[in-house]
Structure formats: C-alpha cells, structure tokens
Structure 1
Amino acid sequence: MKQFLGKFFLRIMGWKLDISVPVHSISKSVLVAAPHTTNWDFFYAVFSFWAMGIPMKFFIKDSWTKPWYGFLIKAVGGIGINRSERSNKVDFAVNLLRNDENLYLLNTPEGSRAWAEKWKTGFYFIADRAGVPILLAYCDYEKKIAGIGKVIYLENKTQEEVLTEIEAFYKDIKGKFPENYNPKIF
C-alpha cells in the first residue's frame, strides 16, 4: 500500500523517481538526505522511499512522538529521541542497525533547513561502526527528481575521502531554497 501511495503522490505532484541504485541488494544502510532546505523535503523523501519499498526510519524529537498524532510520526518511520538526555545516539543507531535485518536509517546531517557551516558527521560514524554503506538520497527541485543516486562503501576509505565523495555528489543538486545549502560540507 505504501509503495502505491508513494508512486501516486509523486506522480500527481509532477516528480520523477530516481531508482538507478540497486537498493534492494542492500539490506541495511545509513541513508543521507540532502540538501535539506525546506520541510517539504520530508514529504518528497517519504513518498520516494515508500515508492521504492525502502523500510526507512529516522530520529525525531520525542515530543513529536508523544502527542495524539505521535502514532502517525511512528507509522512513517519516526523514532522518538530525548535530546535533553546525555545518551550516545551513535551507539543507539549502531545497535538498531546491528539488530535489524532490513533497515535504512535516514539522516539529515545539515542539522537544519537553514544554511549550515558544515555537516554533522554522526552519520559517518554510525555507518562505519555498524559496517553498513551510506546511500545518498536527494530531492532536486530544479529537475523535480527524487531518489537515491549513489552508494558509498566505507571499506579502505578515510572519513575525508568519504566526505569529499559526498560533497561532489551533491554539488549540482538544487534544493527548494538553494541559498540555504552550503555545498562545502566539511
């Protein structure tokens, strides 16, 4: 049902789906989504992942999962996190990936929809410690295409090499508000 809804909503909004990466041959990954310049990114991303049949989860403030509408947030993949607690979220994410047979853990490393000086790198450490690849997801508002455009395997690569590869991938992708995206991610 989700796959049908994802395809339906993308079609009526005039978006195309990029399914060039063989995502179904990858059972677990850290899913990076950028550029993140508007709340609309969330909807296009969810519809795209549904259309591709990807079992995506994401972290969100637990205040979004506790009210009456919290069941909706959880239904689309939200995992409530209490950000005021001093817990290690990287360890938590690594354990999720290690203990689930089929999981794509979504991350928006810019940390905000506004211009960010550099990305937060927790996604890299999660992927490295869990031994999973990083998938690069995007919404290109100029071309009206959303999907997953690249797989990055971390074996035999330094953090700088991985970040350089990611930066090169996203350099030509246009967010809804391009002025809010810093193409220099580190």
Structure 2
Amino acid sequence: MWSSISLGILKLAGWRVIDRRPADLGSAIYLVVPHTSNWDFLVGLLARSGRKIKANYLAKKSLFDSPLGWLFRALGGFPVDRSKSTNITDQVVEYFNTVPGFSIAITPEGTRSKVDAWKTGFWRIAHKAKVPLVLTSFDYSRKEVVLSEPYHVGDDMETDIAALTEYFKPFVGKNPN
C-alpha cells in the first residue's frame, strides 16, 4: 500500500522512477549524486518506499539532536558526527558483514553545497565489504529518479571515482550551483 501511495505522490509531482536494479539484488550502497537540496530527502524517501528498497542512510548528527531526531531514526538514519574522527567506514562495513541484506544510501559530497572532491568513505566501504554500488540520481531537469545496475568497485579508487564522476555528469540537482 505505501509503495503505491509513494509512487502516486511522485507521479502527481511529475516524477518517475527508472529502476535498472536486478530483482535479486541483495546488499548495496546507494550512491546518491547530486545532493543539492533538502528536497532530495523527500524525493529519496518516496522513491525508496515506492520501489520497496530497504536501505538506511547516513546524515549529520545535528538532525538527530533536533526535535525531529526520532523521525530521522525511524526512517533508517544513522547519525554521523563530522567533528569527530570516528571511523564510520569500519562501522558500516561491520553492518554489511553481520546484517543480511543490509543496504545504505550515501551522498559522497557530504553536503548540499558544491564541492571539488567527493569524500571516499563509500568506496572504502564497498571495497572492504565487497558490496556493489547502485548509482542513484535525482535529476530535477527531467524529474527522474534513476537507479543503476550494480557497479562493482575495482582495486583502484581514483579510476572508479573518475568513472563515477563521469557517469553522474548529465544529472542535474535542484540547486546545481
């Protein structure tokens, strides 16, 4: 029921979901690019519900310290304290190794602001846990949520990030600048 409602809301807003994932996809990292607006969260929740994706997400700790913190947790959020040098990547790898079917959404920009380089934790997690990436974009110019076929990282982070950056170039965020 929630799936149909979520897809209906997206459709009413003019959005469509293009889902190229295989039906038997297990654990994955949903790499979400570009992330330029708070609206990405709502579009992402609707697409996640509409496509029956069981995925958690990482978000800044201050969201969980707010009066709505309970809601962010209930929606699958994991708080990240960016002021501390805790090793979140190892914690997430441990989840992948111990929780069957675990998936998580990560925005490699780490912020809604324009950045020159992505944070690389997603690659380290995918490489250590041996899980694929699902390249996920919210293209506001076409009003499309695109979920790619699984992308398996290799042993060369720079090569992978260059390929991923190239893949995401055509997709336009809500606030592209």
TM-score calculated relative to the size of structure 1:
0.87
Q: Spell out the pairing of 1:62-81 with structure 2 (5 A cutoff).
A: 62-81=61-80
1:30 paired residue number: 29
Local SS of the residue matching 2:171: coil
Note the alpha carbon deviations across 1:31-77, whole angstroms, 9 max, x for none. Answer: 11011111111111111111111111112233322444222111221
Q: Is the 8 A contact 1:109 1:120 kept in 2?
A: yes
Q: How far, CA to CA, are the matches of 1:74 and 1:2 in structure 2?
A: 19
1:130 paired residue number: 129
Displacement, 1:168? 2.0
Displacement, 1:84? 3.7
2:158 paired residue number: 160
Q: How far, CA to CA, are the matches of 2:158 and 2:66 in structure 1?
A: 40
- What is the root-mean-square deviation of aligned Cα atoms in Å? 1.7
Q: Which amino acid aligns with 1:172?
A: P
1:144 paired residue number: 143
2:90 paired residue number: 91
Identical pairs, percent: 28
Note the alpha carbon deviations across 1:129-180, whole angstroms, 9 max, x for none. Answer: 011011100011111111312421124x4212211221221111111122x3
Q: How far, CA to CA, are the matches of 1:9 and 1:43 in structure 2?
A: 11
Q: How far, CA to CA, are the matches of 1:61 and 1:170 in structure 2?
A: 23
Q: How far, CA to CA, are the matches of 2:62 and 2:133 in structure 1?
A: 28
1:183 paired residue number: none
Displacement, 1:124? 0.1
Gap change, CA 1:170 and 1:69, over 3 Å in 2: same
**Alignment partner for residue 171 of structure 1, among 156, 160, 169?**
169
Q: Which amino acid aligns with 2:71?
A: L
Q: Which runs of 5+ in 2 are unaligned?
A: none
Q: Which runs of 5+ in 1 are unaligned?
A: 181-186
Local SS of the residue matching 1:18: strand
Displacement, 1:89? 0.7
Gap change, CA 1:84 and 1:160, over 3 Å in 2: closer
Local SS of the residue matching 1:148: strand
Give the length in aligned residue pairs: 177
